[in-house]
Chains A and B, each alone.
Chain A
Amino acid sequence: MEVSQAQAQSPAASSRPHVKRAGAGARFVAMLKRRQLVLLTLFILLAAWEIAPRALNIPDYLLPPPSQVLTAFLGQWQRTLAATWITTTVMLGGYLIAIVVSIPLALLIVSSRVVEDTVEPIMLVFQVIPKIAIAPLFIVWFGFGYTPKTMLVFLLAFFPITLSAVAGFRAVDPDIMDLARSTGASRWSMFRKIKLPQALPQIFTGLKVGVALASTGAVVAEFIASDRGLGYLLLEWRGELDTPMVFAGVFVISFVGIVVYYAVEAIERITIPWHASQRDPAAMGA
């Protein structure tokens, strides 16, 4: 409260953009400064990992040092990245379908008592089913190829996105909806001007949870039902006891997940800057 009081004293500050514009280089340096403890910790971990296998005489097929992983990756980078591309399309395909299905469904659940009473309890039960356990069924139904893999990704990402969107739409203050009703506004304009922006922060939370599940789903689907993609390659490398490449593959798919995650976060910052700046006091110039 004191903070908001203090800011209220300088109205001029509010018309300023929340994020100060700085050169990309300066921002990178500032980021490094903020993250230096994290970077230091990472460096120490990597160094320990590099030294430990040699010091303790651990064979490469159990725990290869990072330098070995890098060398192995550089030897097969084209094949790895080609497989990664396939995995990424599966992941993004299922993820996008999940978004397109989840948000209208969430809206239906919160706006119709009948849908709420029928669909929501069923969803909550389905959510408990380990989706990966039914993946083999998808092969029976859809064969190999994109369909069963995309379906698995979709199923994994669908629940967190739908549930968070439902929570977001429900969190809209009933008083503001009463006020909106007293204007005679159409349901569409109430949705567009109040409900959707109000729910977006929670929707984005669900979208970010969905990213991690989507990459898990894509790799697992390729373990089970594929002759291509990073999941398939991981199995192949494991079969050959090529542990450095298994590590490399894990790093690459994690990297893809991180990129997609930050892409979603960037969209979040653009779509709802008021929320991002509220969550991150540094962005407000405080």
Chain B
Amino acid sequence: MEPGSTSAAGIQKAGGGREIAVKNVSKVFTTDETRTEALRDISLTIREGEFVSIVGPSGCGKSTLLRLIAGLMPVTSGSIEIGGKTVTQPITDVGIVFQKPVLLEWRNALENVLIQPELRGLDPRAYEQRARDLLAAVGLSGFEGAYPRQLSGGMQQRASIARALVHDPSLLLMDEPLGALDALTREQVRVDLEELWLSTGKTVLFITHSIDEAVLLSDRVVIMSPRPGLIDRIIDIDLPRPRGLEGRKASAFKEAEEAITRIFLERGVLKRGQPFAAIHRPGA
């Protein structure tokens, strides 16, 4: 729909100074008894304005990687730089969306979006119109005064996306944001998310379990494998934008999806034909 937005490599903004560089990062969690290697030697560069997805099974450390990039926990070794600056504390030019909406139940949808400027010490009144516009953009116009318990799971998640955007961050970190939604809502929010990205040119790091979602949304898909979490392969998705609901028809979509499925089959993350016939039946 938008001219100039059909480049498969995503929007190239001038400068490109806010590149995210993950360099040989490892993360080990230790308690008194255990030592868990969550990530081993991760290196990844995310260009400014790029939409990058990470797919991988549970326990591959993809959420950990997102938290490391956000500066919410320290790396064990290696380094993460954003725009040339090493991340040592929580970064603030960022919007985060988690799998759960984590709205504040005592605030209505509008107030939940406005918590973001409030916590930043900004005047919430100055952001009210923007918050209303964003709620409308995510399909929640008329629900500004509704409390979280009065909203469905999908609506709550949309409000949390508006909350992540209200301060106009240049980076969006999304940790399985569609994971808890029903299939139809999920499809709609995915399409809306692509629209949003195309019109704003933010850098997005998107974590998902869904191969389908990763391929449809991303410029590049990072495939991770578990225990310890490491990057298995990075696949470029060469599909025109916007991909919308039609993206699945393209042969490039099917090829990419099959390629990723094949990798998961090779790694034993996916298995063909589980041997249920061999399960013992008492008395049979």
> Which residues of A are in contact with B by a Cβ distance under 8 Å?
1, 4-5, 7-8, 11, 13-15, 173, 175-176, 178-185, 189-190, 193-194, 197-198, 272, 274-275, 278
Contact = CB atoms under 8 A, between A and B. Distances in A.
Contacts of B102: 173, 175-176, 179
Nearest to A274: B106
A182 B104 contact: no
B145 A274 contact: no
A8 B72 contact: no
Contacts of A7: 146, 150
Given A179-B102, A198-B104, A278 B90 contact: no
Nearest to A197: B106
7 contacts: A14-B150, A179-B98, A182-B72, A182-B92, A183-B167, A189-B121, A274-B105
A4 B151 contact: yes
Given A4-B151, A5-B152, A11 B94 contact: no
Contacts of A278: 105, 149
A274 B149 CA distance: 10
Contact of B100 (A14, A175, A197): A175
B168 interface: no
B70 A8 contact: no
Contact of A11 (B96, B100, B104, B143): B143
B94 A182 contact: yes
Contacts of A8: 143, 146, 150-152, 155
B119 interface: yes
A14 B90 contact: no
A193 to B, nearest CB: 7
A273 to B, nearest CB: 8
Give 4 closest A-B pairs by Cβ, nearest first.
Answer: A185-B119, A183-B119, A15-B145, A14-B146
A180 B98 CA distance: 13
B67 A178 contact: yes
Interface of B: 67, 70-72, 90-92, 94, 96, 98, 100, 102, 104-106, 108, 115-116, 118-121, 142-147, 149-153, 155, 167
Contacts of A198: 104
Nearest to B91: A182
A189 B150 CA distance: 27
A175 B151 contact: no
Contacts of B119: 180, 183-185, 189-190, 193
Contacts of A14: 108, 143, 145-147, 150
Contacts of A179: 96, 98, 102
A180 B102 CA distance: 11
A121 B145 CA distance: 44
Contacts of B153: 1
Nearest to B167: A183
Given A5-B152, A190-B119, A275-B106, 19 more contacts: A4-B150, A7-B146, A8-B155, A11-B143, A11-B146, A15-B145, A173-B100, A176-B102, A178-B90, A184-B119, A184-B120, A185-B120, A193-B119, A194-B104, A197-B104, A272-B106, A274-B106, A274-B147, A278-B105
Nearest to A198: B104
A14 B142 CA distance: 10
Nearest to A194: B104
A4 B105 CA distance: 13
Contacts of A181: 72, 90
Nearest to A16: B145
A182 B70 contact: yes
B102 to A, nearest CB: 4
Nearest to B67: A178
Contact of B92 (A1, A183, A189): A183
A275 B105 CA distance: 8
Contacts of A175: 98, 100, 102
